[in-house]
Amino acid sequence: MLSALALWQELALLALALLSLVYVYYFRIWIAVATGSDLLFSAALGVCVASVATPTAFDAGARRIVEWSPLPAALVEADARVAALERLPRSLIESALERLGYEPTPESTDDPAPTPGPFEARIRPAVESLVGLVLRITSGLGSLFLLMTALALRSSTATARELDKLSTRLDELSEA
């Protein structure tokens, strides 16, 4: 494969490029009749291309959003409860052996790097990818709405100018 983009991303970028060419050549933006709608179209096109081509930016934003939420603390608490339940049989056996007179086994002090618990390892990546997907879809739909708004603004401006020209010509013809 020649690019790292998926097929749907390449098709979406191709559609955006075709829409841009149609916009540029149909409305002849080099005349600079409606600069505001042209700038709106350019900004919306940039956001739309970013939402299709750069998923890593949205994944980083999703990680930050999840960090700011109460989810990490809740997952750590749930993992702590699971770890306590996992230690429960061992602690019961050790307390029973201690009552019988056996010495408890010394706990190892060599604690390797803490690994995330089962909830942290499974739920958090899924939530982050879901939030990233929602961010991408929201920005994509918002920018598509702005693209269509710019097209409508440019079209209405062109229609108003043509109607004004026609009314001026009709007035000139009626006077003659």
Contacts with 161 (C-beta within 8 Å, 6 or more apart), sequence order:
33
Query: Domain span at residue 27?
Result: 7-53
**Residues 123, 77 share a domain:** yes
**Residues 32, 91 share a domain:** no
> What is the per-residue pLDDT for 2?
58
**Residues 59, 48 share a domain:** no
> What is the per-residue pLDDT for 104?
67
> What is the per-residue pLDDT for 114?
67
Nearest alpha-carbon partner for 128 in 76, 81, 82, 72: 72
Contacts with 120 (C-beta within 8 Å, 6 or more apart), sequence order:
72, 75, 76, 79
pTM of the model: 0.70
**Residues 60, 124 share a domain:** yes
**Residues 121, 61 share a domain:** yes
Backbone angles phi, psi at 69, to 5 degrees: -85, 170
> What is the per-residue pLDDT for 130?
94
> Does the residue 156 lie in any domain?
no
> What is the per-residue pLDDT for 1?
46
**Residues 62, 29 share a domain:** no
Q: What is the residue-wise DSSP string for 98-163?
A: HHHTPPPPPPP----SPPP-HHHHHHHHHHHHHHHHHHHHHHHHHHHHHHHHHHHHHHHHHHHHHH
**Residues 122, 74 share a domain:** yes
CA distance 9 to 76: 36
Chunked into runs of 10 residues, the chain (176 residues) has average pLDDT values of 74 87 76 77 89 88 93 89 84 79 69 73 91 92 90 86 91 85
> Does the residue 121 lie in any domain?
yes
At position 143, the amino acid (one-letter code) is S
> Does the residue 162 lie in any domain?
no
